[in-house]
């Protein structure tokens, strides 16, 4: 249970200026929504507007930079405080309402530039990686990029969407998670995150007033996928299977996919992504817990006391509401065995041993220049191609190395008689 000493307060800045004092008598609530993937984090601010100041002299501007944080005072025990940085946001929507008179500001962690979310962009990407695409888009909006996924190569891809929608969709297609947070595009592999140690164990008693919902479903859960796509070379249809068990094994549930892919590797990545995304709905829990700043989107928790569905869960979404009281709602899914595609490493081609030439070898001169000495800067003359004999090689005493072989023609086809470069004969 929460101690009476517990208290949570918010810290807010508008365009770099601390407004905690000026907002104190107006602030009703601050809601911070933290997502693991698929959208930007949001910050919602609700204020009383009885004197209508927010509609007049204090009217903010869309595009203002808002920074938010939450202080948890005496949270676990007296004298033990915790802080949660919500990050930097852009004020993108202002609302007013009457009875009671209130003002509501909605802020998103996307960049201020509207083109990130709204401007349709047409572009053909060729011979790139997902990381390379994300890097170019991040640079366009002065965002940093944090990328911790595999190196996925793309031969050709058409973009006809705003950058935000395009990048979210691209990451989802290949099984990567993406969010915009603290002026940074964060792209990561959820499989790696789900393997990390749980930050806390949640029991049924941790849900406030027993407020929780659990769904355990077989529908939409698969053990593998068969994906059919057309080869970009000759439009021939190709079909491949990837799964956690054999396609026709007892108990197999196979997802059928028709997808655009430009290689076998591309198809495998996309098939695995669809299976994993679908399987996240197998076992889910949502509810209100006693607020804990350690439980945020992207971490794992252990569920205990729910019987057969106990186990490790991934936090998809966390919503912290600080107002008359502090509440936290979470949405989590049970971690399933994920389908992972790892491209086979290409065997390195054996290095072809370079032939060593020596004095006395008869070779085929390709034509070019022959020089009066083996040293750099020596004067050279044109010589015809033809058969020749090596009379001095690179091991001879005093060899200058620039033109290391001395050739003498063996018939009238060539007139080579001098020092030549390496590689001018075989």
DSSP 246: -
Q: What angle do CA 26, 31, 32 make, to 5 degrees?
A: 135
Q: Is 64 exposed, middle or buried (0-12, 13-18, 19+ CB in 10 A)?
A: middle
Mean pLDDT (whole number) for 371-379: 90
177 and 40 share one domain: no
Give domain status of residue 239, yes or no. no
What is the pLDDT, as a whole number, of residue 137?
A: 94
Alpha-carbon distances of 265 from 27, 362, 425, rounded to whole Å: 53, 49, 42
Q: How far apart are CA 336 and CA 134, in angstroms?
A: 28
Q: What is the tally of structural domains in the chain?
A: 4
94 and 119 share one domain: no
Q: Last residue of a domain, which of 67, 85, 108?
A: 108
Give domain status of residue 268, yes or no. no
70 and 87 share one domain: yes
What tokens were used for 96?
């007013």
The string of pLDDT tens digits covering residues 165-210 is: 999 999 999 999 999 888 889 999 999 999 999 999 999 999 999 9
What is the pLDDT, as a whole number, of residue 111?
A: 72
133 and 37 share one domain: no
Give domain status of residue 228, yes or no. no
200 and 303 share one domain: yes
Q: How far apart are CA 214 and CA 304, in angstroms?
A: 13
Give domain status of residue 144, yes or no. yes
Q: Which of 115-119, 228-232, 277-281 has the lowest mean pLDDT?
A: 228-232
Give domain status of residue 88, yes or no. yes
Q: Residues 6 or more apart from 78 whose CB is under 8 A from it?
A: 3, 5
Give domain status of residue 175, yes or no. yes
The string of pLDDT tens digits covering residues 288-302 is: 998 999 999 999 999
208 and 327 share one domain: yes
34 and 132 share one domain: no
What tokens were used for 156?
């050709």
Q: Last residue of a domain, which of 81, 108, 135?
A: 108
Q: Is the pLDDT of residue 352 over 80?
A: no
What is the pLDDT, as a whole number, of residue 322?
A: 93
322 and 342 share one domain: yes
Task: Report the helix count and the strand count for the chain, using DSSP H and E.
Answer: 5, 27
Strands 300-304 and 201-203, how do they pair?
parallel
Contact status, residue 176 vs residue 188, Cβ threshold 8 Å:
yes
For residue 128, what is the domain's CATH number?
3.55.50.10
The number of C-alpha atoms within 13 Å of 38 and in the hemisphere containing its C-beta is: 10
- The pLDDT-based confidence of 232 (bands split at 50, 70, 90) is low
Range of the domain at 179: 114-188
Phi, psi of 107 (to 5 degrees): -125, 140
93 and 204 share one domain: no
Give domain status of residue 241, yes or no. no
Q: Last residue of a domain, which of 87, 108, 129?
A: 108
Q: Is the pLDDT of residue 113 over 70?
A: no
175 and 203 share one domain: no
What is the pLDDT, as a whole number, of residue 3?
A: 44
Whole-model pTM: value is: 0.77
Give domain status of residue 24, yes or no. yes
103 and 120 share one domain: no
Mean pLDDT (whole number) for 49-76: 89
65 and 136 share one domain: no
What is the pLDDT, as a whole number, of residue 231?
A: 65
Q: What percent of the chain has pLDDT over 70?
A: 95
């Amino acid at each position: 249970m929460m101690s009476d000493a517990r208290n949570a307060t918010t810290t807010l800045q508008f365009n770099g200026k601390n407004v905690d004092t000026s907002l104190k008598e107006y602030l009703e609530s601050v809601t911070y929504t933290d997502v693991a993937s698929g959208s930007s984090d949001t910050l919602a601010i609700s204020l009383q507007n009885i004197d209508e100041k927010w509609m007049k002299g204090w009217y903010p501007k869309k595009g203002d930079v808002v920074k938010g944080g939450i202080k948890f005072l005496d949270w676990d025990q007296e004298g033990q405080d915790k802080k949660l940085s919500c990050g930097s946001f852009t004020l993108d929507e202002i609302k007013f309402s009457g009875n009671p008179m209130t003002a509501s500001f909605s802020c998103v962690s996307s960049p201020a530039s509207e083109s990130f979310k709204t401007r349709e962009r047409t572009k053909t990407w060729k011979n790139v990686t997902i990381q390379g695409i994300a890097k170019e888009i991040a640079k366009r909006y002065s965002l940093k990029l944090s990328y911790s996924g595999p190196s996925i190569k793309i031969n050709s891809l058409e973009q006809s969407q705003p950058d935000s929608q395009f990048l979210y969709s691209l990451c989802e297609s290949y099984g990567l998670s993406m969010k915009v947070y603290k002026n940074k595009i964060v792209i990561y592999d959820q499989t790696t995150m789900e393997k990390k140690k749980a930050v806390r164990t949640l029991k049924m008693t941790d849900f406030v007033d027993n407020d929780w919902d659990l769904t355990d479903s077989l529908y939409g859960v698969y053990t593998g996928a068969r994906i059919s796509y057309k080869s970009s070379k000759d439009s021939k249809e190709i079909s491949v299977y990837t799964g956690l068990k054999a396609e026709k094994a007892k108990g197999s549930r196979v997802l059928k996919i028709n997808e655009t892919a430009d290689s076998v590797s591309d198809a495998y990545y996309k098939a695995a992504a669809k299976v994993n995304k679908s399987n996240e709905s197998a076992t889910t829990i949502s509810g209100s817990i006693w607020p804990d700043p350690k439980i945020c989107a992207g971490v794992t928790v252990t569920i205990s006391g729910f019987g057969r569905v106990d186990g490790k869960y991934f936090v998809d979404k966390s919503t912290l509401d600080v107002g008359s009281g502090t509440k936290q709602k979470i949405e989590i899914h049970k971690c399933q065995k994920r389908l992972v595609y790892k491209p086979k490493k290409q065997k390195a081609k054996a290095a072809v041993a370079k032939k060593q030439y020596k004095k006395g070898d008869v070779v085929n001169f390709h034509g070019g220049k022959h020089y009066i000495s083996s040293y750099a800067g020596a004067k050279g003359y044109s010589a015809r191609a033809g058969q020749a004999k090596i009379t001095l090689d690179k091991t001879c005493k005093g060899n200058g190395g620039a033109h290391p072989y001395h050739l003498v023609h063996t018939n009238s086809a060539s007139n080579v008689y001098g020092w030549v470069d390496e590689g001018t004969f075989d």
